[in-house]
């Protein structure tokens, strides 16, 4: 028996559209059934462990009864416990597990089919987080550039401070390292290049091509925007 396919985290953090909310429900159904499949397996393992434990306990009680250290009632209780554990261990666990895995895979199929049918709208739900990611990167790049300027100013002040002193020159104050200079240069290019930051989303072109390839009907179209709010007809690529 193949194990059930584990679900990934649901991509949309706070669904707002009907499609997003329905996708979240279907994903939760898949997650719940996957957990159920895992629980069935855990229950089987526990049943086998109980059977082994009751076997040990039964033999121990029977031996004590032979020595007069346990009563017939003790033996009967141990036998009943062992019989119950054996009945549980002999239950159709393979069939239960197979059914649970099959149900989980059906839940997965339902979720994936819904995503496939409503992909454009669901991808559109990811746009706010994608925009926020671009904003975060742009702010980080600006912070690096500003920090480098502050560093250079601090170095200049240190060089001016030692200028009147004897036995020391400006060479004593280190220059910015090559790796730091490279990072600052890259940050400047990122800020200056209008296409340097693209949305981490499927491009409009690829979504449209998918519909053409699969002969899908036209649905609501989403035009991604860059961090400034400018429309990107091809999703930034």
- 176-226, pLDDT tens digit by residue? 999 999 999 999 999 998 777 888 898 888 888 888 888 776 655 555 554
CB half-sphere exposure, 55, CA atoms < 13 A: 9
Answer yes or no: is 216 within a domain: no
Q: Among 154, 190, 147, 188, which Cα is nearest to 174's?
A: 154
pLDDT score for 2 = 62
Q: Are residues 82 and 131 in the same domain?
A: no
Q: Which domain holds residue 87?
A: 18-117
d(CA 176, CA 28): 51
- What is the per-residue pLDDT across 39-61, written as a single tens digit (0 to 9) for each? 999 999 999 999 999 999 999 99
Question: Are 89 and 154 found together in one domain?
Answer: no
Q: How many domains does the chain have?
A: 2
136-175 residue pLDDT tens: 999 999 999 999 999 999 999 999 999 999 999 988 999 9
What's the burial of 36, exposed, middle or buried (CB within 10 Å: 0-12/13-18/19+)? middle
Distance CA(147)–CA(161), nearest Å, equals 21
Structure tokens at 98: 């197979």
Q: Are residues 107 and 136 both part of a single domain?
A: no
- CA–CA gap between residue 98 and residue 27 (Å, rounded): 21
Residue 227 — pLDDT band, cuts 50, 70, 90? very low
Residue range 58-98, pLDDT digits in tens? 999 999 999 999 999 999 999 999 999 999 999 999 999 99
Average pLDDT score, the chain:
89
* The residue count for the chain: 237
Q: Is residue 218 part of a domain?
A: no
Same domain, 113 and 130: no
Residue 122 has pLDDT above 80, yes or no: yes
| pTM of the full structure | 0.75
Residue 1: pLDDT band with limits 50, 70, 90? low
Give the count of alpha carbons within 13 A of 80, CB side only: 6
């Amino acid at each position: 028996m193949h194990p059930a396919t584990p679900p990934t985290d649901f991509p949309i953090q706070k669904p707002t559209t009907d499609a997003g909310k329905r996708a979240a429900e279907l994903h939760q159904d898949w997650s719940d059934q996957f957990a159920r499949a895992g629980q069935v397996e855990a229950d089987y393992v526990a049943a086998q462990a109980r059977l082994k434990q009751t076997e040990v306990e039964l033999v121990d009680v029977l031996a004590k009864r032979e020595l007069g250290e346990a009563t017939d009632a003790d033996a009967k209780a141990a036998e009943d416990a062992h019989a119950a554990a054996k009945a549980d261990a002999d239950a159709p666990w393979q069939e239960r597990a197979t059914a649970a895995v099959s149900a989980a895979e059906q839940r997965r199929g339902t979720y994936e089919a819904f995503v496939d049918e409503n992909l454009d709208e669901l991808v559109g739900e990811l746009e706010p987080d994608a925009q926020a990611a671009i904003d975060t990167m742009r702010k980080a790049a600006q912070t690096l550039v500003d920090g480098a300027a502050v560093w250079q100013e601090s170095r200049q002040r240190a060089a001016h401070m030692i200028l009147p002193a004897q036995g020391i020159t400006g060479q004593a104050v280190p220059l910015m390292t090559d790796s730091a200079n490279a990072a600052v240069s890259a940050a400047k290019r990122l800020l200056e290049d209008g296409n340097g930051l693209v949305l981490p989303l499927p491009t409009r072109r690829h979504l449209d091509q998918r519909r053409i390839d699969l002969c899908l009907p036209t649905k609501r179209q989403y035009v991604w925007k860059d961090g400034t709010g400018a429309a990107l007809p091809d999703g930034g690529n």
